[in-house]
Structure 1
Amino acid sequence: MAQIAKISKQVQLKSSGHKFYEFFKNNMDYIFVQMFPEIYQSGKVVEGNGFSHGSVIHLKYNAGKPEEVKERIAIDDANKSITFECLEGDLFRDFELMKLKIQVFENGSNGSSVNWSVEFVKANEDVATPHHYLLCLSKVSKGLDDYLCNN
């Protein structure tokens, strides 16, 4: 059996971690398409009650190339984290497994931060490590942080 690999990236935030997490959790399904049209083309809940724990979303996005994916959402409010388990989509051409996780931290007087991690299993050895997902998610985090600081 293939080994699960993990990569991550932490982004410092100027906004409060609580505000960032709540906005992300409560607006992921439609506002992100408006805020980041160069990355997200569409987002729709296809199973469940809105963007909530256990729901399945269908996303069309561009993280270097246009792709579609269906993901199951796992929300953990106590740890300010959301996990997106990929169920089907274009990325399965290159990966056998893919999970993305966002976790927001309050850093006391140093503000807050968001940690993005990607767990994956490559379909074969020729597949590149998916750093491009972390680059896109960092861009989204910085853009959302700027928006929250200015609104």
Structure 2
Amino acid sequence: MALKGKLTAQIEMKAGGDLFHELFRYKPQEIPNISPTTIQSCDLHEGEWGNVGSVYFWNYTLDGKLGVAKEVIESIDDEKKSVTFKVIEGDLMKLYKAFKAGFHVETHGGIDLVTWTLEYEKLNDDVEEPLLVLGSCIKLAKDVEAHHLKATRYGQGSLLA
């Protein structure tokens, strides 16, 4: 059985991919307000919000269990609307030797698509594929979209205002 793997999921984003990218790049500390059942907090530990090399500390819930992750922003590409985080400490590191989570936004026929990609190396063959993590990424994208659509419907403007 392979220890290295890659999982990908793509979600249509009616609220706009630019918004999604800008939220994760510049204001990830707002995500707990948008998806509190998935993310409880995001704190800046080093660097500045939205810069490569900055370190964030996340408190999250996965499969009903509280967890933590310390991540460094590994790359940002504003043209491709992408951000990649590398997990450097936390609960995932108990199961994975290496773990990266990233997304990019692309537009096809006027439709914005958010593509999440998880790259990982399991510590051993007994570790399951991180399907629950990918499911949380999908839920997070849907929560961001629902929050933004609700805010614009009720005249509250953008999440990033």
Counterpart contact for 2:11–2:113, Cα < 8 Å: yes
Q: CA deviation at 1:15?
A: 2.2
CA distance in 1, matches of 2:83, 2:42: 16
Counterpart contact for 1:69–1:90, Cα < 8 Å: yes
Instruction: Say if 1:41 and 1:23 are closer, same or farther in 2 by CA, change over 3 A.
Output: closer
Deviations 1:88-143 (A, max 9, x none): 1111111100000111111233x111000100011111111000011111011011
Instruction: Say if 1:49 and 1:24 are closer, same or farther in 2 by CA, change over 3 A.
Output: closer
Q: CA deviation at 1:49?
A: 1.5
Tell me, yes or no, if structure 1 residue 108 matches structure 2 residue 81: no
Which amino acid in 2 is paired with 1:131? L
Segment drifting more, 61-70 vs 96-105: 61-70
Deviations 1:9-37 (A, max 9, x none): 10111122223322332221x21111111
Q: CA deviation at 1:147?
A: 2.2
Q: CA deviation at 1:3?
A: 4.8
Deviations 1:64-97 (A, max 9, x none): 2211111011211121100010111111111100
Residue 159 of structure 2 corresponds to which residue in structure 1? none
CA RMSD of superposed structures (Å): 1.5
Indicate the SS of the match to 2:79: helix
CA distance in 1, matches of 2:70, 2:148: 28
**Which ranges in structure 1 are unaligned for 5 or more consecutive residues?**
none
TM-score, length-normalised on structure 1?
Answer: 0.91
Give identity over the alignment, percent. 31
CA distance in 1, matches of 2:136, 2:55: 21
Counterpart contact for 2:3–2:125, Cα < 8 Å: no
CA distance in 2, matches of 1:146, 1:26: 19
CA distance in 2, matches of 1:88, 1:22: 25
Residue 122 of structure 2 corresponds to which residue in structure 1? 122
TM-score, length-normalised on structure 2?
Answer: 0.85
Which amino acid in 1 is paired with 2:137? L
Residue 8 of structure 1 corresponds to which residue in structure 2? 8
**Which ranges in structure 2 are unaligned for 5 or more consecutive residues?**
153-161
Counterpart contact for 1:20–1:148, Cα < 8 Å: no
Tell me, yes or no, if structure 1 residue 89 matches structure 2 residue 94: no
Indicate the SS of the match to 1:79: coil
CA distance in 2, matches of 1:68, 1:92: 10
Residue 40 of structure 1 corresponds to which residue in structure 2? 39
Tell me, yes or no, if structure 1 residue 27 matches structure 2 residue 27: yes
